Structure formats: structure tokens, C-alpha cells
Copies of this chain bind each other. A is one copy, B any other.
């Protein structure tokens, strides 16, 4: 959860945006929607412009918010898989609404994500 919108006005819409509004969070969530589970390193391939630090941070916030599950295998070298939680899956219709609205504006490459 971000703190930007530490909004004295208690608004559900703002609250929802605080969950998904991180710069890379929608892309992370969509990746997990499409792939069931994704390893840390895989994210850095799927999202080339994200740094490991920011990726860690966004994943941790999503995990703290209960939207994703982090599963660590006690192996060396390490293996960590991320997946959507049941709660996270309830976001899918919301993401689709945002996607459809945002997509109408100008159709572009990865708009086919949902199709």
C-alpha cells in the first residue's frame, strides 16, 4: 500500500487505487493473472525496465496487502514464486474495467493482454 494518498477523506475509490496504483503493480498483477505463478527473475524479463529494488518493493507491498502470495523454496540458489491470492483474484474484474476504459483511448500493443 502506498502512502501518497493518505487521504483524510475516506473514499473507497481512493482506497482501491492505493492497492493497485504503484507504477508497476498493474503489470505485475496482469502477469500473475496470465501465468499462475512467476518467479522473481522472470519478472525482470517480463518487465525489463523495472529494477530489482523496485520490483522487490512492489511485490512486498502487494504481499502485505494480501493480493499476492510469496512462496519461497529452501533451495540454493534460491527459488521464489509469486502467485495471485484469492483476494487478489477479486481484483481481476476491476483491472478489466480499467483495461477496457484505458484501451478505448488508443489501442496499442499489449492491449491484447485480456483478449
Contact = CB atoms under 8 A, between A and B. Distances in A.
Interface string A6-29: 011111111111011101101100
A47 to B, nearest CB: 6
A15 B94 contact: no
Given A11-B27, A13-B20, A16-B101, 4 more contacts: A12-B111, A15-B102, A15-B103, A17-B26
Main secondary structure of the interface of A (DSSP, over half): helix
Given A91-B101, A98-B94, A99-B16, A11 B26 contact: yes
A29 to B, nearest CB: 8
**Copies of chain A in the complex:** 2
Contact of A12 (B12, B24, B49, B98): B98
A5 interface: yes
A110 interface: yes
B94 A90 contact: no
Given A26-B17, A105-B15, A8 B49 contact: yes
